[in-house]
Amino acid sequence: MEMGNVIEKFFLSTGFSAFAWGNLVMLLISFALFYLGIRKKFEPLLLVPIAFGMFLANLPLSGIFSEPSGHAPGGLAWYFALGFSIWPPLIFMGIGAMTDFGALIANPKSLLLGAAAQLGVFLTFAGAILLGFNAQEASSIGIIGGASGPTAIYLTQLLAPGLLGPIAIAAYSYMALIPIIQPPIIRLLTTEKDRRIRMEQLRPVTRTEKIVFPLLVSLVVILLVPSVTPLIGMLMLGNVFRECLVTERLRETAANALMNILIIILGVTVGATASAQKFLNLRTLAILGLGVAAFAIGTAAGLVMARVLNIFSRNQINPLIGSAGVSAVPMAARVSQMEGQKADPNNFLLMHAMGPNVAGAIGAAVAAGVFLALFGLN
């Protein structure tokens, strides 16, 4: 073989030969996510693995998401993606093990704020239908507004697996970008006086209440929407590990080691779904736009509901905690805290915001169950 042919053959085997403008665009997007995660510290545990998965997927011929063919094995992310039906419930177990539900138990009105924030899910569903998506696709797009990545993946895997890549990217990226998305909406819909409202200290919650609560929620929600048993069941199991005080090793594993492993696997896999071929098209751009709208509507609905409740309530609610009803545990609650402290450095809203935050996670799972009941592919 002539030297020229050898060089040409080697060049054609490299990624440089297949590099296109779309790869460059997606690499630049991955670099932007790296910047936001590392430099700006916007949920780096999510953004860094997502950005790296996107980076790998857009290096031509890397094969990270290739399917098995003949004797050739599939790519690493392809095998990870086989667990998309398993990873979300396990992540919910970790969230339950890390989260104190006491704020929701002490202030049941938080349920209304979490329910109001789900307006973004259903209005976005309607918007997706108007844009030509079918009911299953529109359900999967709408659930982005629930700001729960595991719920979005779980529902999309069942209803619209063809949209799993853009929906997973939208759900997880927007969750991480909550500190950018929510503050302008908060400032638009609340006054300085609203943001300075100090809420009364929450009542102490007994250990018995904390153990009974996850069992009661499981009973009611699973009987209402049985299809979300894996999500709600694992969320509440993790919380029982936390609150019963006799399973500390299980709580520690679920909340730390297992959760960290799952975040790495899921983050890289979600990022790897965003190849240029799948990502740079009008349908994907429409999904991303609808996802932003879903987050914005859910945030606005939670804020407005809090202000409405204040009309009828003797004990005033700081509307900022309503924005935490979009779920995104605990990112949205932290944004409520930060915005409140900008108005009053001595105002501490984090625990109050965790009530609607947890209610939003439950509400998003219920919304997913409603979509599965109505449009499930049985």
Establish if 28 belongs to a structural domain: no
Q: What is the pTM assigned to this prediction? A: 0.91
Identify the pLDDT of residue 16.
83
Identify the pLDDT of residue 173.
85
Establish if 48 belongs to a structural domain: no
| CA neighbours closer than 13 Å in the CB half-sphere of residue 3 | 0
Establish if 161 belongs to a structural domain: yes
Establish if 70 belongs to a structural domain: no
**Rg of the chain over all Cα atoms, to the nearest angstrom:** 22
Q: Other CB atoms closer than 10 Å to residue 81's CB: what's the count?
A: 24
Identify the pLDDT of residue 304.
94
Provide the token pair at 159.
């209803």
Identify the pLDDT of residue 1.
56
Beta bridge partners of 72: 69
Establish if 77 belongs to a structural domain: no
Cβ-contact 195, 343 below 8 angstroms = yes
Q: Other CB atoms closer than 10 Å to residue 378's CB: what's the count?
A: 4
Q: Provide the 8-state DSSP code for 161.
A: G
| CA neighbours closer than 13 Å in the CB half-sphere of residue 210 | 19
Establish if 100 belongs to a structural domain: yes
Q: Provide the 8-state DSSP code for 317.
A: P
Identify the pLDDT of residue 131.
93
Establish if 49 belongs to a structural domain: no
CA proximity to 187, closest of 354, 300, 333, 36: 300
Q: What angle do CA 367, 273, 228 make, to 5 degrees?
A: 20
Identify the pLDDT of residue 377.
64
Q: How many domains does the chain have?
A: 1
Q: Which helix (H) or strand (E) holds 172?
A: helix 164-176
Find the domain containing 126 and state its range.
87-375
Identify the pLDDT of residue 315.
85
- For 51-85, the pLDDT digits (tens) are 999 999 999 988 888 888 878 888 999 999 888 88
Establish if 196 belongs to a structural domain: yes
Which residue stretches of the chain have pLDDT < 70? Answer: 1-2, 4, 377-378
